[in-house]
Structure 1
Amino acid sequence: MTGETSTTIVPYIGDTLSRSRLWTDLSEAELRRLAVAACRDQDEETLWALTEAYFTTYGASGAKASRHTLRAYRQGLRVFLNHVGTRAVNLLHPARDLGPSFLREREAAGKSPGTVQLELAAVRLLYRALRWSGATTDDPFSDARPARETTAPWDKRQPYSEQELHALLLAARPDTRAMLLLGAHAGLRVSELLALVWGDLDFNARAVRVRSGKGGKARRAVMSETLAQALKALCAGLSDEQLFPISDVAVRKRLKALCLITGVPYRAVHALRHYSGTKLYRVSHDLEAVARHLGHSTLETTRIYAKWSDESLKNSVGQW
């Protein structure tokens, strides 16, 4: 958008805490002025900086919010600004039906319920930040509700099978093999394995320390013998040296390339974690053990692995 410069501060430098302080140190009048100007110009960078500052300051994860979460929210904000950019929308005083119409358009475009939910969360966060700044009191998404999810959780993203994981491991180079096993055996998320440093590996106790999991929670995941061998095969660095100095995008590209080579259907990196939970439940039938291993807050989240590992229904019907 054209118009005068909306901010007198550099909105996106340093780490998340440093960036948020640029905003929290402002006077109420200056904070409001910058937010109003950013809305007028539909300035994505400044609106995101404001939103991130609010999220970092008031969100449950605080400054420990993962890069993946921040990236997802920023993408949701970008989608919303693209939506309003094609219309004459006053962000501070939008029309009554802006929220529902945005959701209906995204659903009509074929976006999954999960994607629409995430975009809705991002825009709600934006408006919480705008109200925090004093720029508006409006909340156009308060009554916006996405369409119901009709696919059962256990049908949305299946884990890799035993045979598929075996094929991927055989074709992987050493560092990629270690990453695959950190997901499939230790149950780590992409953000968790990329945050690992050598000092997080305890070969004597056979444990992997996750310092900042989802929601900022720490845990210790069990290190399998196969994973231990794969990690030892890498050249060990200093205790504070990152194991895998690459991005999550690079991890996804590697897995997609492996799937293409091996003929394994690509089910996303997170399906490796699903494999871990499914296999652990299959051998233990202990939901609490699976929850501890994966760092789940509630057993309800863990029950999906019981569904995936339950062969009794298939075996029973298969005998008809």
Structure 2
Amino acid sequence: MIKAGIVGGTGYVAGELLRCLIHHPEVEIDFVYSHSKPGEQISKVHQDMLASDLTFTDKVNASADVVFLCLGHGNSIKFLKEHQFSATTKIIDLSNDLRLKKDAILDGKKFIYGLVELKKHDIQSAQFIANPGCFATAIQLALLPLAKHKLLNDEVHVHAITGSTGAGQGLTETSHFSWRNNNLSIYKAFSHQHLDEIGESVVSLQSEFNQAINFLPLRGDFTRGILASVYLNCSLEGEELVSLFEDFYKDEPFTIVTKDNVNLKQVVNTNYCFLQVQKIDGKVLITSVIDNLLKGAAGQAIQNMNLMFGLEEQTGLGFKASYF
């Protein structure tokens, strides 16, 4: 069994990791670290785990097989500098601390960007992974087939909406029920932090890409999921585009290409990304839907773990959407 530790165990992403890993056939949860809740029952925070007797700890097992870092942005590097793990421990960081090339090497540890559909071969032999951001995952999966074929030759426009869990578990003015309910707002227009990792991935496939990616993120009045509409000018016709996307993702079990309309309910509580590809009045429109806590975070992290340990990448992730 793979002994897994979770650091930063009180947040939404850690809760999803716990929900998935307790059913993973090859994993045993070794420790769940929380500096603020040591000794407390995990079910006091994650109330869906009332039947579990797991408790938080403020100690880590340095010999764990894999450690998931679910810390706030800016805290993973600090934690890794303060805690040492064995030479064989694999580390998967879910913050944005180590995603960019300029940040990817920490004390001799090289973190591989963990977008499976782009870096599968590198992930299989990696020891350290920087898990992609949720918006970044949805948007990159919509753009990468076009980048591979050098078809991103105009500005890209992205309009994407995320659920309230994307803001984390801490209470803020814009995550408070009274504010979020029956409300909608744009934030970080054209300046979202995920743009940098999106740009690096696109350039890795289309080196001459130098166009703007105009990204408008929105806060939605729902808890889970991201729907991103990505559009740009492109010369290819509709059937050619669909075939191009189908070919790019033909060996990717969690990225599904379709001509049919897609919606969030199809992917919430799953590790899938559904991509609807259309050509309308000279423009390509790709609609990408994911669950921000699974394919956008915990599920993708487990997908990476599976590949790192030589398992089938679908192991422990065979979830059907809760459609009703």
TM range (shorter): under 0.3
Q: TM-score, normalised by structure 1?
A: 0.23
Q: TM-score, normalised by structure 2?
A: 0.23
Structure 1 or 2: more strand by fraction = 2
